[in-house]
Amino acid sequence: MRTMSAQSSSNPVRGLPTGDLGRRIALRRVELGLTREETARRAGMASSYVQHLEEQPTANPGAAALLRLAGALETTVRELTGGDVDLPPGLGQAGRHPKFTELSPQECRDLVSTHGVGRLAVPSPSGPLILPVNYSVVEGVIAFRTHPGTALAQAMGCEVAFEVDHIDAALSQGWSVLVRGPASAVMDPDCVQLLKERAYSEPWAGGQRDMWIRINPLTITGRRIAVR
């Protein structure tokens, strides 16, 4: 297995509290590369208050504090409080003067290697399927867990397409990366053990999912839309 990226496979927010609002604040802050102190300075509030919001599940900030935090974290109050959880991403209006660029192969690898949830396009007897799956990147290989007989398991032995993206509705910008390559089951016990040890996350769907499938990237392309 070759290395896709020099980025760590560890969870950047592991160990942070799991309160709903606090988790969303912490995740967005880490996503922007901000410390609590930097976030507090942007929002015009004490860093101890940001810590309180992140660590206390019962924290209930007022509307003014939420507006300042959303502005500091370059998002919306709805996204920060989870009000958009049942809505598809990208409901915002197109930004003025958008800039469309192609990503370099290395930029694509770096973005895919942050791990998360992607979409896998697989063939099926009734036609192509596109399925969400949480995945890990281990030594350059995209890997995920499933169970024999599932729709995801139909990827074995096929050429597949795998897509990851990020959409920032608050700023009307985002990126997407498309990977193409063959998918196969991981059978070697040493490789299975390596994937178990370095997997970014347990399967979100839960249940017994002991079948590992790997995608060997043959082509990788991406694009970004930013607002000037």
* Domains in the chain: ranges and CATH: 20-80 (1.10.260.40), 98-227 (2.30.110.10)
State residue 133 phi and psi, 5-degree precision: -155, 135
- Tell me the mean pLDDT in the region 60-73: 90
For residues 104 and 127, which has the higher predicted lDDT (pLDDT)?
104
Structure tokens at 226: 């930013």
CA distances from 158 to 109, 127, 146, 176, 209 (A): 22, 14, 16, 22, 20
150 and 207 Cβ atoms separated by less than 8 Å: no
Structure tokens at 217: 């990237």
Rg of the chain (C-alpha set):
19
Q: Maximum CA pair distance of the chain?
A: 58
Q: What would the pLDDT profile of 187-201 be if each residue is shown by its tens digit?
A: 999 998 888 888 877
Q: What percent of the chain has pLDDT over 70?
A: 84
Give the residue from 38, 36, 37 showing the smallest Cα distance to 26: 36
Pairing of strands 211-215, 159-168: unpaired
By CB neighbour count within 10 A (0-12 exposed, 13-18 middle, 19+ buried), where does 125 fall? exposed
H-type alpha helices, 32-137? 36-43, 47-55, 63-72, 77-80, 105-112
Q: What would the pLDDT profile of 129-146 be if each residue is shown by its tens digit?
A: 899 999 999 888 899 999
Report pLDDT for 87: 57
70 and 77 Cβ atoms separated by less than 8 Å: yes
172 and 156 Cβ atoms separated by less than 8 Å: no
